[in-house]
Amino acid sequence: MKILIELPTWLGDTVMTTPAIENILKYYNNAEISLIGSFASTELLRHHPKVINVKVLDKNYTSLYRIAKDLGRFDNYFSFRSSIRSTLFKFFVLSTYKYQYKKNLYKNLHQVQKYNNFINDCLKVNFKPGALLINNGIKPILNKNTPIVGINPGASYGSSKRWYPEKFAEVAIELSSQFEILIFGGPDEIGISLDIENCLIKKGVLNYKNLSGKTSISELVEYISTLDLFISGDSGPMHIAASFQIPTIAIFGPTRDNETSQWMNQKSIIVKKNLFCQPCMKRSCPLLHHNCMKTIQPNDVLNAIKSIQ
Protein backbone atom coordinates (compact mmCIF):
# COMPACT_ATOMS: atom_id res chain seq x y z
CA MET A 1 0.00 0.00 0.00
CA LYS A 2 1.60 3.24 -1.19
CA ILE A 3 0.31 6.41 0.45
CA LEU A 4 1.16 10.04 -0.31
CA ILE A 5 0.51 12.58 2.46
CA GLU A 6 0.63 16.32 1.96
CA LEU A 7 1.45 17.93 5.30
CA PRO A 8 0.36 21.36 6.53
CA THR A 9 2.76 24.23 5.95
CA TRP A 10 3.25 25.14 9.60
CA LEU A 11 5.30 23.17 12.10
CA GLY A 12 2.63 23.14 14.82
CA ASP A 13 -0.12 22.01 12.48
CA THR A 14 2.12 19.20 11.29
CA VAL A 15 2.65 17.99 14.86
CA MET A 16 -1.14 18.01 15.27
CA THR A 17 -1.60 15.72 12.25
CA THR A 18 0.39 12.93 13.87
CA PRO A 19 -2.51 11.20 15.67
CA ALA A 20 -4.43 11.16 12.36
CA ILE A 21 -1.40 9.79 10.49
CA GLU A 22 -1.00 7.05 13.08
CA ASN A 23 -4.64 6.12 12.52
CA ILE A 24 -4.01 5.88 8.76
CA LEU A 25 -1.22 3.43 9.61
CA LYS A 26 -3.52 1.58 12.00
CA TYR A 27 -5.94 1.08 9.11
CA TYR A 28 -3.23 0.25 6.53
CA ASN A 29 -0.65 -1.57 8.62
CA ASN A 30 1.44 -2.46 5.57
CA ALA A 31 1.62 1.10 4.26
CA GLU A 32 4.66 2.89 2.88
CA ILE A 33 4.37 6.64 3.18
CA SER A 34 5.72 9.45 1.01
CA LEU A 35 5.54 12.93 2.44
CA ILE A 36 5.24 16.23 0.61
CA GLY A 37 5.01 19.70 2.09
CA SER A 38 7.08 22.60 3.34
CA PHE A 39 10.68 22.11 4.38
CA ALA A 40 9.81 22.44 8.08
CA SER A 41 6.87 20.02 8.01
CA THR A 42 8.65 17.31 6.02
CA GLU A 43 11.82 17.60 8.12
CA LEU A 44 9.78 17.08 11.28
CA LEU A 45 8.34 13.72 10.20
CA ARG A 46 10.97 12.38 7.78
CA HIS A 47 12.34 9.97 10.44
CA HIS A 48 9.05 8.10 10.87
CA PRO A 49 9.78 4.38 10.26
CA LYS A 50 7.01 4.13 7.65
CA VAL A 51 8.27 7.09 5.62
CA ILE A 52 10.24 6.05 2.53
CA ASN A 53 10.29 9.29 0.54
CA VAL A 54 10.19 13.02 1.33
CA LYS A 55 9.69 15.86 -1.13
CA VAL A 56 9.59 19.60 -0.44
CA LEU A 57 6.73 21.14 -2.39
CA ASP A 58 7.82 24.08 -4.49
CA LYS A 59 5.57 27.14 -4.06
CA ASN A 60 5.69 27.74 -7.78
CA TYR A 61 2.38 26.68 -9.34
CA THR A 62 4.08 25.78 -12.62
CA SER A 63 6.08 23.01 -10.94
CA LEU A 64 3.08 21.14 -9.49
CA TYR A 65 2.51 18.93 -12.53
CA ARG A 66 6.17 17.92 -12.75
CA ILE A 67 6.40 17.16 -9.03
CA ALA A 68 3.24 15.05 -9.10
CA LYS A 69 4.50 13.01 -12.04
CA ASP A 70 7.96 12.57 -10.50
CA LEU A 71 6.41 11.14 -7.34
CA GLY A 72 4.81 8.28 -9.26
CA ARG A 73 1.56 6.44 -8.58
CA PHE A 74 -0.10 5.84 -5.22
CA ASP A 75 -3.00 3.87 -3.80
CA ASN A 76 -4.14 6.72 -1.54
CA TYR A 77 -3.44 10.44 -1.33
CA PHE A 78 -4.34 12.46 1.77
CA SER A 79 -3.86 16.22 1.84
CA PHE A 80 -4.06 18.04 5.17
CA ARG A 81 -4.19 21.36 3.33
CA SER A 82 -7.23 23.11 1.87
CA SER A 83 -5.52 25.79 -0.22
CA ILE A 84 -6.10 26.43 -3.93
CA ARG A 85 -2.57 25.25 -4.67
CA SER A 86 -3.23 21.97 -2.88
CA THR A 87 -6.47 21.52 -4.81
CA LEU A 88 -4.55 21.95 -8.05
CA PHE A 89 -1.82 19.59 -6.91
CA LYS A 90 -4.44 16.99 -5.99
CA PHE A 91 -5.70 17.13 -9.59
CA PHE A 92 -2.22 16.20 -10.89
CA VAL A 93 -1.44 13.49 -8.32
CA LEU A 94 -1.60 9.94 -9.67
CA SER A 95 -3.56 8.04 -7.05
CA THR A 96 -6.47 5.60 -7.01
CA TYR A 97 -8.13 7.51 -4.17
CA LYS A 98 -7.65 11.18 -3.32
CA TYR A 99 -8.78 13.01 -0.19
CA GLN A 100 -8.36 16.67 0.72
CA TYR A 101 -9.00 18.36 4.05
CA LYS A 102 -11.71 21.04 3.93
CA LYS A 103 -11.40 23.32 6.95
CA ASN A 104 -14.96 24.61 6.58
CA LEU A 105 -16.29 21.11 7.30
CA TYR A 106 -14.55 20.83 10.66
CA LYS A 107 -15.29 23.52 13.21
CA ASN A 108 -15.37 24.13 16.97
CA LEU A 109 -12.96 21.31 17.73
CA HIS A 110 -9.32 21.04 18.66
CA GLN A 111 -7.17 20.97 15.53
CA VAL A 112 -6.03 17.43 16.35
CA GLN A 113 -9.67 16.33 16.34
CA LYS A 114 -10.34 18.17 13.08
CA TYR A 115 -7.52 16.35 11.30
CA ASN A 116 -8.51 13.05 12.86
CA ASN A 117 -12.17 13.46 11.89
CA PHE A 118 -11.04 14.15 8.33
CA ILE A 119 -9.23 10.81 8.25
CA ASN A 120 -12.17 9.03 9.87
CA ASP A 121 -14.45 10.43 7.18
CA CYS A 122 -12.04 9.35 4.43
CA LEU A 123 -11.69 5.80 5.73
CA LYS A 124 -15.23 5.51 7.13
CA VAL A 125 -13.95 4.57 10.58
CA ASN A 126 -14.28 6.03 14.07
CA PHE A 127 -10.75 6.00 15.44
CA LYS A 128 -9.99 8.19 18.45
CA PRO A 129 -7.04 10.57 18.20
CA GLY A 130 -4.12 9.43 20.33
CA ALA A 131 -1.13 11.33 21.62
CA LEU A 132 1.13 13.50 19.48
CA LEU A 133 4.06 11.50 18.14
CA ILE A 134 7.34 12.65 16.64
CA ASN A 135 9.69 9.84 15.58
CA ASN A 136 13.03 11.60 15.52
CA GLY A 137 15.57 8.99 16.60
CA ILE A 138 16.18 11.11 19.68
CA LYS A 139 18.64 10.06 22.35
CA PRO A 140 17.69 12.02 25.46
CA ILE A 141 20.50 13.85 27.20
CA LEU A 142 20.95 12.28 30.62
CA ASN A 143 22.72 13.30 33.85
CA LYS A 144 21.85 16.98 33.65
CA ASN A 145 23.33 18.89 36.56
CA THR A 146 20.67 21.60 36.52
CA PRO A 147 17.07 21.65 35.26
CA ILE A 148 16.59 23.43 31.92
CA VAL A 149 13.89 25.95 31.02
CA GLY A 150 13.16 26.78 27.40
CA ILE A 151 12.06 30.29 26.43
CA ASN A 152 10.29 30.54 23.07
CA PRO A 153 9.28 34.13 22.26
CA GLY A 154 8.45 33.76 18.59
CA ALA A 155 5.34 32.84 16.63
CA SER A 156 5.40 32.50 12.85
CA TYR A 157 1.71 33.40 12.49
CA GLY A 158 2.28 37.09 13.21
CA SER A 159 3.10 39.78 15.76
CA SER A 160 -0.27 39.51 17.51
CA LYS A 161 0.69 36.11 19.00
CA ARG A 162 3.96 37.35 20.46
CA TRP A 163 4.45 38.25 24.08
CA TYR A 164 7.11 40.87 24.74
CA PRO A 165 10.84 40.03 24.93
CA GLU A 166 11.42 42.14 28.05
CA LYS A 167 8.65 40.21 29.83
CA PHE A 168 10.09 36.86 28.77
CA ALA A 169 13.42 38.15 30.08
CA GLU A 170 11.93 39.08 33.46
CA VAL A 171 10.63 35.54 33.83
CA ALA A 172 13.96 34.04 32.74
CA ILE A 173 15.89 36.24 35.20
CA GLU A 174 13.62 35.14 38.04
CA LEU A 175 14.16 31.48 37.11
CA SER A 176 17.90 31.73 36.46
CA SER A 177 18.88 30.60 39.97
CA GLN A 178 16.97 27.33 39.49
CA PHE A 179 17.32 26.60 35.77
CA GLU A 180 19.74 26.71 32.90
CA ILE A 181 18.09 28.80 30.16
CA LEU A 182 17.70 27.96 26.48
CA ILE A 183 16.31 30.65 24.18
CA PHE A 184 14.60 29.30 21.05
CA GLY A 185 13.63 30.97 17.81
CA GLY A 186 13.72 30.65 14.05
CA PRO A 187 15.73 32.78 11.63
CA ASP A 188 13.02 35.47 11.69
CA GLU A 189 13.10 35.66 15.48
CA ILE A 190 16.79 36.31 16.05
CA GLY A 191 16.12 39.95 16.89
CA ILE A 192 13.54 39.10 19.57
CA SER A 193 15.89 36.52 21.08
CA LEU A 194 18.75 39.02 21.12
CA ASP A 195 16.54 41.46 23.03
CA ILE A 196 16.00 38.78 25.68
CA GLU A 197 19.70 37.94 25.74
CA ASN A 198 20.65 41.59 26.24
CA CYS A 199 18.25 41.87 29.17
CA LEU A 200 19.84 38.80 30.76
CA ILE A 201 23.33 40.19 30.28
CA LYS A 202 22.36 43.51 31.90
CA LYS A 203 21.16 41.59 34.97
CA GLY A 204 24.33 39.49 35.12
CA VAL A 205 22.65 36.25 34.08
CA LEU A 206 25.19 34.06 32.31
CA ASN A 207 23.73 30.55 32.50
CA TYR A 208 21.87 30.76 29.19
CA LYS A 209 22.32 29.68 25.59
CA ASN A 210 20.71 31.55 22.70
CA LEU A 211 19.78 28.96 20.04
CA SER A 212 17.69 31.28 17.89
CA GLY A 213 18.39 30.67 14.20
CA LYS A 214 21.01 28.04 15.07
CA THR A 215 19.10 24.75 15.12
CA SER A 216 17.85 22.38 12.47
CA ILE A 217 14.35 20.98 12.90
CA SER A 218 15.82 17.76 14.31
CA GLU A 219 18.02 19.68 16.73
CA LEU A 220 15.07 21.80 17.82
CA VAL A 221 13.11 18.65 18.62
CA GLU A 222 16.07 17.15 20.49
CA TYR A 223 16.62 20.24 22.62
CA ILE A 224 12.93 20.56 23.48
CA SER A 225 12.79 16.88 24.46
CA THR A 226 15.38 17.52 27.20
CA LEU A 227 13.57 20.44 28.87
CA ASP A 228 12.17 20.45 32.39
CA LEU A 229 9.99 23.50 31.71
CA PHE A 230 8.91 25.36 28.57
CA ILE A 231 7.50 28.89 28.32
CA SER A 232 6.04 29.73 24.94
CA GLY A 233 3.38 31.47 22.95
CA ASP A 234 1.02 29.58 20.65
CA SER A 235 3.63 28.17 18.28
CA GLY A 236 5.08 25.11 16.58
CA PRO A 237 7.66 24.45 19.32
CA MET A 238 4.82 24.53 21.87
CA HIS A 239 3.27 21.52 20.12
CA ILE A 240 6.62 19.75 19.93
CA ALA A 241 6.89 20.18 23.71
CA ALA A 242 3.41 18.68 24.08
CA SER A 243 4.51 15.56 22.21
CA PHE A 244 7.13 14.99 24.93
CA GLN A 245 4.83 15.94 27.83
CA ILE A 246 7.12 18.81 28.81
CA PRO A 247 5.64 20.98 31.61
CA THR A 248 4.58 24.05 29.65
CA ILE A 249 3.28 27.54 30.29
CA ALA A 250 1.45 28.51 27.06
CA ILE A 251 0.76 32.23 26.60
CA PHE A 252 -2.32 32.85 24.44
CA GLY A 253 -3.61 36.12 23.00
CA PRO A 254 -5.52 36.35 19.70
CA THR A 255 -5.88 32.64 18.93
CA ARG A 256 -8.38 30.00 20.07
CA ASP A 257 -6.77 27.98 22.84
CA ASN A 258 -9.58 25.43 22.63
CA GLU A 259 -8.38 24.63 19.10
CA THR A 260 -4.59 24.98 19.29
CA SER A 261 -3.61 24.39 22.92
CA GLN A 262 -1.28 21.53 23.75
CA TRP A 263 -2.96 18.22 22.99
CA MET A 264 -3.01 15.62 25.78
CA ASN A 265 -0.33 17.30 27.88
CA GLN A 266 -1.48 17.07 31.48
CA LYS A 267 1.40 19.35 32.51
CA SER A 268 0.22 22.35 30.50
CA ILE A 269 -1.14 25.64 31.82
CA ILE A 270 -2.63 28.35 29.60
CA VAL A 271 -2.07 31.97 30.55
CA LYS A 272 -4.51 34.40 28.93
CA LYS A 273 -6.70 37.39 29.82
CA ASN A 274 -10.13 36.59 28.27
CA LEU A 275 -10.70 40.08 26.92
CA PHE A 276 -13.87 40.96 24.98
CA CYS A 277 -11.86 41.13 21.74
CA GLN A 278 -10.38 37.65 22.09
CA PRO A 279 -9.93 35.62 20.01
CA CYS A 280 -9.67 37.89 16.98
CA MET A 281 -7.48 35.44 14.99
CA LYS A 282 -5.66 38.33 13.32
CA ARG A 283 -1.94 38.43 12.51
CA SER A 284 -1.69 41.94 13.98
CA CYS A 285 -3.95 43.65 16.49
CA PRO A 286 -6.94 45.17 14.62
CA LEU A 287 -7.62 47.52 17.55
CA LEU A 288 -3.97 48.64 17.66
CA HIS A 289 -3.61 48.14 21.43
CA HIS A 290 -2.51 44.47 21.68
CA ASN A 291 -3.99 44.28 25.18
CA CYS A 292 -4.45 40.51 24.99
CA MET A 293 -0.66 40.24 25.31
CA LYS A 294 0.22 43.61 26.85
CA THR A 295 -1.85 42.98 29.98
CA ILE A 296 -0.17 39.62 30.70
CA GLN A 297 2.54 40.26 33.28
CA PRO A 298 5.61 38.22 34.25
CA ASN A 299 3.97 37.41 37.60
CA ASP A 300 1.09 35.76 35.77
CA VAL A 301 3.57 33.37 34.21
CA LEU A 302 5.61 32.92 37.38
CA ASN A 303 2.47 32.08 39.38
CA ALA A 304 1.51 29.53 36.72
CA ILE A 305 4.96 27.98 37.04
CA LYS A 306 4.52 27.61 40.80
CA SER A 307 1.27 25.74 40.26
CA ILE A 308 2.82 23.32 37.78
CA GLN A 309 5.91 22.41 39.80
Predicted local distance difference test score (pLDDT) of residue 161: 84
Q: What is the mean pLDDT of residues 283-303?
A: 95
Q: Quote the percentage of the chain above a pLDDT of 70.
A: 96
Q: What is the mean pLDDT of residues 139-163?
A: 78
CA distances for 301 relative to 114, 217, 220, angstroms: 30, 27, 23
Predicted local distance difference test score (pLDDT) of residue 144: 72
Three-class SS state of 109: coil
Number of residues that make up the chain: 309
Predicted local distance difference test score (pLDDT) of residue 61: 87
The pLDDT-based confidence of 145 (bands split at 50, 70, 90) is confident
Predicted local distance difference test score (pLDDT) of residue 303: 97
* Angle, vertex CA 160, rays to CA 155 and CA 166, nearest 5: 75
pLDDT exceeds cutoff 80 at 139:
no
What gap in Å lies between CA 57 and CA 40, rounded to an integer? Answer: 11
Predicted local distance difference test score (pLDDT) of residue 131: 96
Helix/strand/coil (H/E/C) assignment for every residue in 217-268: HHHHHHHHHCCCEEEEECCHHHHHHHHCCCCEEEECCCCCHHHHCCCCCCCE
Residues with Cβ within 8 Å of residue 253, at least 6 apart in sequence: 160, 161, 163, 233, 234, 272, 273, 278, 279, 290, 292, 293, 296
pLDDT exceeds cutoff 80 at 156:
no
The pLDDT-based confidence of 59 (bands split at 50, 70, 90) is confident
Contact criterion met (CB below 8 Å) for 134 and 166:
no
What gap in Å lies between CA 48 and CA 275, rounded to an integer? Answer: 41
Predicted local distance difference test score (pLDDT) of residue 138: 60
Nearest in space to 209 (alpha carbons), one of 248, 246, 180, 182: 182
Q: What are the structural domains, with CATH classification, of the chain?
A: 2-123 (3.40.50.2000), 148-308 (3.40.50.2000)
Q: What is the mean pLDDT of residues 118-138?
A: 92
Note the pTM of the prediction, 2 decimals. 0.95
Predicted local distance difference test score (pLDDT) of residue 58: 84
Checking DSSP bridges between strand 148-152 and strand 51-56, what pairing results, if any? unpaired
